[in-house]
């Protein structure tokens, strides 16, 4: 009898140590595939991550469906990029009625001011305002910057293009998961530490590869302006006919100026992104003689059987595509 009571007590203790089984996993929503992968690396077996915008999906034009609202309603934690990237997130949260904790992965990042290649504090912003609503446009004149077709606000939201920034993402996500699931805090910390080591190795690899490129062969043409943080961190110059959002359309004047720049600078390759329509770059290539290079992954991972199925793989793949073209 004593043995049976002991076994029952042990079983109860194990059941209390949630989330230990699939049905008890912490339910986490990540807004897009890159965040989903980073979150899964930190959460490990204790979390069930659902991604709203999947591989090869464009979060700029995402339209949430009723199933997305239901998933958000059932979530315990929501991981969003912030910096205005998910312009639809406020509406989705309100429609779902969720009580999930919101983790803003980009908290602590020094944001690049819209249309600038420098951190916001250098442009007169000592830090970004985390008190504004997710996706809320900041008070500035988009038309003066030539980008009046999107609502990202004052800052470039693509902060994950710097590996150093993703290290900040990891800390924010770790703390968010631990707050929602204190019993898993040590697990999240251990997973985060291991992942940070992988990020540090990747960052060093990227810096070494790009430093080896000739100074006069570091200009990249891409389909939309998603690589400002990459440029700042690693010393490349990215030029795009579109603005920060894929919803923004390049003007004929912008395209003409870019064609002139390509010819004058002797740029020999342009790159299309996995979320973008390549027709504009095909036009530019045909008028300049430049070759459309491989695909870059900017705002979304590839499918599981593709070359950029994880954040680490995405950054290494992009690095190989860029250095390969620029070395020729």
Residues 247, 297: one domain? Answer: yes
What's the confidence (pLDDT) of residue 327? 74
| Mean predicted confidence (pLDDT) in 30-49 | 98
Domain end call among 151, 169, 199: 199
More confident residue, 63 or 150: 63
- pTM score: 0.75
Residue 265: pLDDT band by 50, 70, 90 thresholds? low
Could you tell me if 26 and 109 lie in one domain?
A: yes
Supply the mean pLDDT for the chain: 78
Q: pLDDT (tens digit, 9 = 90+) per residue, 153-173?
A: 688 999 999 999 999 999 999
- Who wins on pLDDT, 236 or 79? 79
- Is 293's pLDDT higher than 90? no
pLDDT at 90: 94
What CA–CA distance (Å, rounded) separates 125 from 145? 17
Do 112 and 215 fall within a single domain? no
- Say yes or no: 54 and 185 in one domain: yes
**pLDDT at residue 68 in the model:** 96
Query: Of the ranges 13-17, 40-44, 153-157, 236-240, which is most confident?
Result: 40-44
194 lies in the same domain as 218: no
Task: Pick 137 or 182 by higher pLDDT.
Answer: 182
28: nearest Cα among 15, 16, 39? 39
- Bigger pLDDT: 292 or 206? 206
The Cα 182–Cα 184 span in angstroms is: 5
The whole-number pLDDT of residue 151 equals: 45
> Poorest-confidence range of 62-76, 279-293, 300-314?
279-293
Res 148 pLDDT > 50: no
Helix (H) or strand (E) holding 33: helix 33-43
Query: Is 217 in the same domain as 170?
Result: no
Q: Give CA–CA dist 306/301, Å, rounded.
A: 9
Domain with 317, as residue range(s), is 207-326
The set of residues, in sequence order, having a beta carbon less than 8 Å from that of 325 and lying 6+ positions away, is 268, 269, 271, 293, 294
Return the CATH number at 217: 3.40.50.1980
Distance of alpha carbon 32 from alpha carbon 17, whole angstroms: 30
Residues 230 and 124 in one domain: no
Q: Are residues 98 and 184 in the same domain?
A: yes
Over range 126-138, report the average pLDDT.
Answer: 35
> Are residues 281 and 175 part of one domain?
no
For residue 193, pLDDT over 70 is answered with yes
Sheet of strand 269-273: strand arrangement: 237-239, 219-222, 269-273, 291-296
The values of phi and psi at residue 47, to 5°, are -125, 155
Q: Is the pLDDT of residue 319 over 70?
A: yes
Q: Give percent above pLDDT 70 in the chain.
A: 68
Number of domains in the chain: 2
Amino acid 142: pLDDT? 31
Q: Domain check: are 101 and 37 in the same one? A: yes
Domain endpoint, select from 199, 221, 254: 199
Residue at a domain's end among 164, 199, 234: 199
**187 plus 242 within the same structural domain:** no
pLDDT value at 6 more than 50: no
Is 275 found in the same domain as 171? no
């Amino acid at each position: 009898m004593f043995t049976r009571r002991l076994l029952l007590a042990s079983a109860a203790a194990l059941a209390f140590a949630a989330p230990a089984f699939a049905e008890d996993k912490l339910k986490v929503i990540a807004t897009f595939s890159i965040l989903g992968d980073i979150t899964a690396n930190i959460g490990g077996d204790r979390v069930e991550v659902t991604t709203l915008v999947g591989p090869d999906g464009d979060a700029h034009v995402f339209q949430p469906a009723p199933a997305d609202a239901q998933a958000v309603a059932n979530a315990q934690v929501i991981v969003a990029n912030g910096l205005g990237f998910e312009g639809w997130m406020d509406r989705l949260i309100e429609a779902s009625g969720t009580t999930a904790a919101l983790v803003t992965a980009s908290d602590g990042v020094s944001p690049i001011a819209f249309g600038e290649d420098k951190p916001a504090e250098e442009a007169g912003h000592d830090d970004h305002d985390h008190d504004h609503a997710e996706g809320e446009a900041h008070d500035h004149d988009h038309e003066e910057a030539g980008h009046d077709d999107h609502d990202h606000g004052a800052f470039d939201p693509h902060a994950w293009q710097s590996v150093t920034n993703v290290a900040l993402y990891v800390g924010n996500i770790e703390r968010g998961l631990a707050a929602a699931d204190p019993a898993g805090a040590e697990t999240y910390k251990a997973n985060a530490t291991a992942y940070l080591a992988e990020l540090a190795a990747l960052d060093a690899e990227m810096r070494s590869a790009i430093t080896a490129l000739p100074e006069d062969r570091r200009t990249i043409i891409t389909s939309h302006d998603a690589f400002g943080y990459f440029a700042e961190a690693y010393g490349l110059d990215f030029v795009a006919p579109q603005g920060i959002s894929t919803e923004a359309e390049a003007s004929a004047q912008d395209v003409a100026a870019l064609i002139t720049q390509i010819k004058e600078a002797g740029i020999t390759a342009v790159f299309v992104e996995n979320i973008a329509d390549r027709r504009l770059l095909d036009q530019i290539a045909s008028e300049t003689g430049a070759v459309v290079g491989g695909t870059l992954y900017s705002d979304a991972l590839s499918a599981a059987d593709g070359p950029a199925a994880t954040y680490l793989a995405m950054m290494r793949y992009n690095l190989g595509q860029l250095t390969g073209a620029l070395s020729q």
